[in-house]
């Protein structure tokens, strides 16, 4: 089961994945950022897959293999889920899917 860290405060959203070890390439780790409708990969050393979610956890859109020093956004997104590049395809995440979170 994939694990997600949550970035919910101003500081943790600003920091994101910077100065952290890379996420697992098998899609088993992610960073959930909320509120958030746009991301950037400035300063990242590896590409990311991004999943944009509405307030109910419905996938609005995905961006695969977002390279370092790029940005992307999704109108209507409430949260973003950042995964190692290639994870969206591995996990078969598509628009319309509903992602649920449980505290560990």
pLDDT bin (cut points 50, 70, 90) of residue 101 is: confident
Parallel/antiparallel/unpaired status of strands 3-7 and 29-33: parallel
Residue 1 has pLDDT above 70, yes or no: no
pTM recorded for the entire structure: 0.91
Write the pLDDT tens digit of every residue in 10-37. Answer: 888 878 887 788 889 899 999 999 999 9
Q: Which domains does the chain have, with CATH numbers?
A: 3-91 (2.60.120.1140)
Asked whether 96 and 50 are in contact (CB, 8 A), the reply is no
In the prediction, which pLDDT does 48 show?
95
Per-residue tokens: 46: 């590896």
Give how far Cα 43 sits from Cα of 17, 58, 69, Å: 9, 29, 7
Residue 102 has pLDDT above 60, yes or no: yes
**Phi-psi sector, 64: left (phi>0), alpha (psi -120 to 50), beta:** beta
In the prediction, which pLDDT does 35 show?
96
């Amino acid at each position: 089961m994939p694990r997600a860290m949550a970035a919910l405060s101003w500081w943790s959203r600003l920091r994101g994945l910077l100065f952290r070890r890379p996420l697992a390439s098998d899609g088993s780790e992610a960073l959930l950022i909320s509120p958030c409708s746009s991301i950037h990969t400035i300063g990242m050393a590896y590409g990311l897959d991004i999943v944009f979610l509405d307030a109910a956890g419905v996938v609005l859109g995905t961006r695969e293999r977002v390279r370092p020093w790029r940005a992307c956004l999704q109108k209507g997104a409430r949260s973003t889920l950042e995964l190692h590049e290639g994870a969206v395809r591995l996990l078969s995440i598509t628009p319309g899917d509903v992602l649920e979170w449980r505290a560990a």
